[in-house]
Amino acid sequence: MRVGVYGLGRFGAFWARCLTGRYEVLAYSRNEQRETPEGVQRAEEGDVLACNAVFLCVAISAMEEVVSRIAPAVRDGATVFDTCSVKVHPIAVMDKFLPRGVHIIGTHPMFGPDSGKNGIEGLPLAYCPVRSSKENREFWLGEFRNMGLRVLSLDPEEHDREAAYTQGVTHFMGRVLNDMELKPSAIATKGYEKLLEIIEQTCNDPYQLFIDLQRYNPYTIQMRERLGLSLKKVQDQLLDTTSGEI
Amino acid sequence: MRVGVYGLGRFGAFWARCLTGRYEVLAYSRNEQRETPEGVQRAEEGDVLACNAVFLCVAISAMEEVVSRIAPAVRDGATVFDTCSVKVHPIAVMDKFLPRGVHIIGTHPMFGPDSGKNGIEGLPLAYCPVRSSKENREFWLGEFRNMGLRVLSLDPEEHDREAAYTQGVTHFMGRVLNDMELKPSAIATKGYEKLLEIIEQTCNDPYQLFIDLQRYNPYTIQMRERLGLSLKKVQDQLLDTTSGEI
């Protein structure tokens, strides 16, 4: 089968490479400077959009502009997937602009080139079929499972609520700790080494992903408020006194 | 050689067990409920203080009370070690109260029962000899190296400055994230799993250790202020807009 990958940014290039194991992969990027991943065929925009399955690998904040523009070029009966780190917003956009005859499946591969560098076997993919025949929905569920992924069906709201307090808080803390300019140290504890790994992994991702992940997930506001309250509470605890053995 | 361990809290019990590999270990706890670690001999306070080497494993905030009280019972020519997570304060206390004829060596084993559960080989120990003959100082440096530890000689100020931005920030964030009641999740990313590990590892340690580590290290105020500023800065960045490929 031939699948199209639209966008060859850091994640798009990685995802295109993951797909080459099972499909003939055509990829398009508006940016000619982007490298073509091994095993992937570089193609014109129209050719990628004419595929039976099209994976959109564009920034969350670019979804509306991209989907509204490409909608007329998508073939009747094709399946369009987004791969965004939030689900409510991109699904609403696809549902609004894509023609009736197009199947829509929201996905969030919960990994990237860093966490998936040793293979994607066993890693989670959030799966949100929106507008799709039962047959098509089950077909793609099976395909992702055959790629070795741990497929999790959940609704977009549920995904965003949960992601705010998992991926959202991790990326937020990664950026905050990175801003503190923490450095490797000879007296690093194991815990501190893990903290540095979190910074590295989150800050390797594009800055735009971080911003979009926070801004387009309606639950991250609550998460950041909660973080602020917890910080204040722990600060206040330092004003008390006691003593004992360690 | 016979060594004494004063205090059998979570860290003291662990450290006493580490020492049994090379020494006859006598241990005292004012708390009779504490279990005696395997290979360790439970003893009276006076017997532990009569050892040639005494490791104090008491809370940072208890150092002044304990050291001032036990000082007369320490033998002339003995070596007293603290094992606190800060160095300036406990070293000043030992220097103030212990008799002239007593050697003083500040240490900070930068691990505990969690990070050292698979052995302490290669883990760091900060080493701050204060009042000690060259011979004694070099003897103990060799002993710790023979235990497999990575011994790092540094002065107490230097230790506290560095520890505030390594162990200090890790424990602070661990407590804050714990207060947020983050839970394991089916859609956990690798980064989020590391975040949960940090919470577990830091919050397994006694609450008192956390409080003391922040309160008795003069550099953690600055660290927490810096953390607050970085948090504010990242929050503010979320107000900007751009877009692109992911």
Q: Which of A30, A182, A202 sits opposite B191 (nearest CB)?
A: A202
pLDDT tens per residue, range A157-167:
999 999 999 99
Residue A141 burial class via C-beta count within 10 angstroms: exposed 0-12, middle 13-18, buried 19 and up? middle
For the record, the structure tokens of A6 come out as 């639209």
pLDDT tens per residue, range B7-52:
999 999 999 999 999 999 999 999 999 999 999 999 999 999 999 9
* Geometric angle at alpha carbon A182, from A178 and A184, rounded to 5°: 125
Give how far A203 is from chain B: nearest CA, Å. Answer: 11
In the predicted model, what is the mean pLDDT of residues B120-133? 95
Q: Over 60: is that where the pLDDT of B235 sits?
A: yes
Q: Over 90: is that where the pLDDT of B2 sits?
A: yes
Residue count of chain A: 246
Give how far A115 is from chain B: nearest CA, Å. Answer: 6
Give how far A133 is from chain B: nearest CA, Å. Answer: 25
Write out the H or E segment, with its range, that includes residue A103.
strand A103-109
Tell me the β-bridge partners of B153.
B127
What is the pLDDT at residue B241?
56
Residues of A whose CB is below 8 A from B240? 211
Cβ contacts below 8 Å, chain A against chain B, sum to: 246
Contact B166 A126 (CB under 8 A): no
* DSSP 8-state class, residue A163: H
Domains of chain A: 2-155 (3.40.50.720), 158-227 (no CATH)
Q: Do B70 and B97 form a contact (C-beta atoms < 8 A)?
A: no
Q: Over 60: is that where the pLDDT of B242 sits?
A: no
Q: Do B169 and B223 form a contact (C-beta atoms < 8 A)?
A: yes
Q: What is the ipTM of this complex?
A: 0.88
What is the pLDDT at residue B240?
66
State whether residue B203 is helix, strand or coil.
helix
In the predicted model, what is the mean pLDDT of residues B127-144? 96
What is the pLDDT at residue A78?
98
- How far apart are alpha carbons B135 and B106 in whole angstroms? 16
What is the pLDDT at residue A4?
98
Q: Over 90: is that where the pLDDT of A70 sits?
A: yes
Q: Which of B189, B226, B235 sits opposite A170 (nearest CB)?
A: B189
pLDDT tens per residue, range B204-219:
999 999 999 999 999 9
Provide the residue type at B111 as one letter: F
- How far apart are alpha carbons B139 and A109 in whole angstroms? 55
Query: φ and ψ at A41, to 5 degrees?
Result: -100, 125
Q: Which of A28, A16, A190, A183 is nearest to A109 (CA)?
A: A16
